[in-house]
A and B are shown apart, each in its own frame.
Chain A
Amino acid sequence: MEKKDNNGIIPDVKIRKEVPQLIAVLKEMKEGLDTVTSKVQALTAKVKAKQYPTADGVSYLEAKHLLLINYCQSLVYYLLRKAKGLSIEGHPVVRSLVETRIFLEKIRPIDKKCGYRIERLLTAASTDAVKVDTTENIADATQKSEDLLKYRPNPDMLDNDGIYRPPKIAPVTMEEGKKSKQERDALRKEKDTLRRVRQSEYVKSLVDDLEGRPEEVKDMIGAESRDFTKYVANWEKREQQEEELFTRAPITKAEKRKIRQLTKSNGLQGLTDDFYDEIRALPLGDEVDEKKTSGFSSASTIERRHKKRKEKVENGYYVIQSGKISGKRCIPVK
């Protein structure tokens, strides 16, 4: 509304600007009120003729109507008082306005849920040219009609050939975001190379450099077995957690045994210098390399691998460990 000065006198300029607006708004309000009064009069006549008994309670839509009417009433009274210049401080009409508003906002989610059904009802009512009383409860309105888009599962809808066509209530979306086989493979390959690169020595030295850690030289004879690297990785993770929490987790007897086993010298195994182990960590595009490091091997691929090995026997010789042919290939230096 208009801003008032400290004295309570409204400046003339403002009045002149806002008066036409006010007139237009008041006109709209009067028109709205006229339509409403006519409708309400029709309804009250019907009520008096005992057409709307509330003996069974009030339905949701009826309650909503009543709330809205109450709200409009209070609003009109509020505006009247303001227009006359009377104060509204502490008047019960403000309280009733606020209460009704809160009720309306609380029932808004119910509105949203029933919205589709109400619309269906209305369209069914208009298209079927059946006069449905708007104050009937929704549960009563499930009339038997030829409309296929009925909104509840109906066993009577079983067709002649015994096929049941369910009612189409909500729209079904097709599954988007499903990745094709190529995309999945590409993602997996990327993850794999990332993991391998992270484990490589070069990247580790880079990271150490970045974090300012001093250079560490490990004197280990030969490459580390896969068991060992896995164990060390677990140990590292455990250490990180311990540092976070500033405590130490106790080492169980089984873990102590494992540590002793791994740190014990494995005989002469560590002395065999293996070229393959050194290039294992590098992400080369070699087919054989990939096959060996991928974990998805079925019986057929294992057989194929064996056959491939037998073919390539002229390129080098195999290291035999305890009667089994290991995956290590030693290429003779020319």
Chain B
Amino acid sequence: MADKAVTIRTRKFMTNRLLARKQFVIDVLHPGRANVSKAELKEKLARMYDVNDPNSIFVFKFRTHFGGGKSTGFGLIYDSVESAKKYEPKYRLIRNGLATKVEKSRKQLKERKNRAKKIRGIKKVKAAEAGKKK
């Protein structure tokens, strides 16, 4: 919706050399709109901070204030996608499309755990190996 203006302000800007990133608090003002999508925010931040690759921008933990119109969240801009892959938690990489979720059947995992509860010690390892070989 181009008619409603969206303003982004960043606060508490800090360059975190240890984790090769810039981190800050984002204030989004969106009067008349419900919420601003993360993709749009990343686009705007890429323009603001002259980032080559918008894949290295991560925004998260957004919360809308009372009455709407304003939301606050956190943002990170990594120096490169490699450092992002190294330091970011899995779920955020999946959100950005840099990693894929391993679909593990929850039921199977639980059954396996319950089976392993009955065996103790080195036999557990042997049972696991036998299971894998099958």
A214 within 8 A of partner (CB):
yes
B38 within 8 A of partner (CB):
no
Q: B66 near A216 (CB under 8 angstroms)?
A: no
A262's nearest neighbour on chain B, judged by CB, is B66
Q: B25 near A216 (CB under 8 angstroms)?
A: no
B35 within 8 A of partner (CB):
no
The CA-CA distance from A219 to B31 in the complex, in Å, is 11
Binds A, one of B49-57, B67-75, B85-93, B117-125: B67-75
Q: B7 near A214 (CB under 8 angstroms)?
A: yes
B25 interface neighbour in A213, A214, A218, A243, Cβ under 8 Å: A243
Q: A248 near B61 (CB under 8 angstroms)?
A: yes
Q: B67 near A218 (CB under 8 angstroms)?
A: yes
The CA-CA distance from A214 to B23 in the complex, in Å, is 22
The CA-CA distance from A247 to B67 in the complex, in Å, is 23
Q: A220 near B12 (CB under 8 angstroms)?
A: no
- Which chain A residues border B70 with CB–CB below 8 Å? 216
- Which chain A residues border B9 with CB–CB below 8 Å? 213-214
- Which chain B residues border A218 with CB–CB below 8 Å? 67
B47 within 8 A of partner (CB):
no
- Within A188-220, the residues touching B (CB, 8 Å) are 213-214, 216, 218-220
B12 interface neighbour in A214, A219, A235, A243, Cβ under 8 Å: A243
- Which chain A residues border B63 with CB–CB below 8 Å? 248
- B59-83, CB under 8 A of A: which get 1 and which 0? 0010100110110101000000000
Q: B74 near A246 (CB under 8 angstroms)?
A: yes
B29 interface neighbour in A214, A220, A235, A244, Cβ under 8 Å: A214
Q: B11 near A243 (CB under 8 angstroms)?
A: yes
User: How distant is A224 from chain B, measured CB to nearest CB, in Å?
Assistant: 10
The CA-CA distance from A272 to B52 in the complex, in Å, is 55
- Which chain A residues border B23 with CB–CB below 8 Å? 246
A232 within 8 A of partner (CB):
yes
A263 within 8 A of partner (CB):
yes
The CA-CA distance from A248 to B69 in the complex, in Å, is 20
The CA-CA distance from A218 to B31 in the complex, in Å, is 11
A239 within 8 A of partner (CB):
yes
- Which chain A residues border B74 with CB–CB below 8 Å? 246
User: How distant is B23 from chain A, measured CB to nearest CB, in Å?
Assistant: 6
Q: Name the residue among B11, B66, B74 with the largest chain A CB count within 10 angstroms.
A: B66
- Which chain B residues border A219 with CB–CB below 8 Å? 67
- Within A244-282, the residues touching B (CB, 8 Å) are 244, 246-248, 263
A246's nearest neighbour on chain B, judged by CB, is B74
The CA-CA distance from A214 to B27 in the complex, in Å, is 11
- Within B1-28, the residues touching A (CB, 8 Å) are 7, 9, 11-12, 23, 25
User: How distant is B61 from chain A, measured CB to nearest CB, in Å?
Assistant: 5
The CA-CA distance from A288 to B74 in the complex, in Å, is 46
The CA-CA distance from A247 to B74 in the complex, in Å, is 8
Q: B72 near A239 (CB under 8 angstroms)?
A: yes
The CA-CA distance from A297 to B25 in the complex, in Å, is 43
The CA-CA distance from A216 to B29 in the complex, in Å, is 10
- Which chain B residues border A247 with CB–CB below 8 Å? 61
- Which chain B residues border A214 with CB–CB below 8 Å? 7, 9, 29
The CA-CA distance from A108 to B70 in the complex, in Å, is 66
Given the contacts A214-B7, A239-B72, A248-B61, A220 and B67 also touching, CB distance less than 8 Å: yes
A219's nearest neighbour on chain B, judged by CB, is B67
The CA-CA distance from A216 to B74 in the complex, in Å, is 21
User: How distant is B17 from chain A, measured CB to nearest CB, in Å?
Assistant: 16
User: How distant is B5 from chain A, measured CB to nearest CB, in Å?
Assistant: 10
For the complex of A and B, 3 pairs with smallest distance between CB atoms: A248-B61, A243-B25, A246-B74
- A–B pairs, 24, beta carbons within 8 Å: A213-B9, A214-B7, A214-B9, A214-B29, A216-B69, A216-B70, A218-B67, A219-B67, A220-B67, A232-B66, A235-B66, A239-B72, A243-B11, A243-B12, A243-B25, A243-B72, A244-B12, A246-B23, A246-B25, A246-B74, A247-B61, A248-B61, A248-B63, A263-B66
A residues contacting B by CB (< 8 A) are 213-214, 216, 218-220, 232, 235, 239, 243-244, 246-248, 263
- Contacts A239-B72, A243-B11 aside, 7 further interface pairs with beta carbons under 8 A come to A213-B9, A216-B69, A232-B66, A235-B66, A246-B25, A248-B61, A263-B66
